[in-house]
Amino acid sequence: MLERDVEVVNRLGLHARAATRLVQLAAQFDARITLQQGKEVAEADSVLGILLLQGNQGKRVKVRCEGPQAAEALEAVCELFAARFDEQE
């Protein structure tokens, strides 16, 4: 299992559009991807689960990946967070 902490840097946080982008990205990899904020954990294939994390701007989220493409998935997810989910700000 690989993991890395990332910061939610986009202004609106993990809202519906950002969660949908994350789910679409996660589906491209043969890996189980989970996100954790505090005690809450969500699968990256669930928009509702991601929304329930309440990941507001400035919060830290732990990304965990396991499976054949775990390294590639972790890198891609972290890049999506760093790119502010491709939102204009």
Domain that residue 54 falls in: 2-86
Active site residue 3: no
Model-level pTM greater than 0.85?
A: yes
Is-contact 1 70, C-beta < 8 A?
Answer: yes
Rounded Cα gap, residues 68 and 81, in angstroms: 22
pLDDT tens figures, 6-65: 999 999 999 999 999 999 999 999 999 999 999 999 999 999 999 999 999 999 999 999
Q: How many domains does the chain have?
A: 1
What average pLDDT does the segment 66-73 reach?
A: 98
Contact between residue 83 and residue 7 where contact means Cβ atoms under 8 Å apart:
no
In the set 4, 15, 32, 84, the catalytic residue is 15
The CATH number given to whatever domain includes residue 56 is: 3.30.1340.10
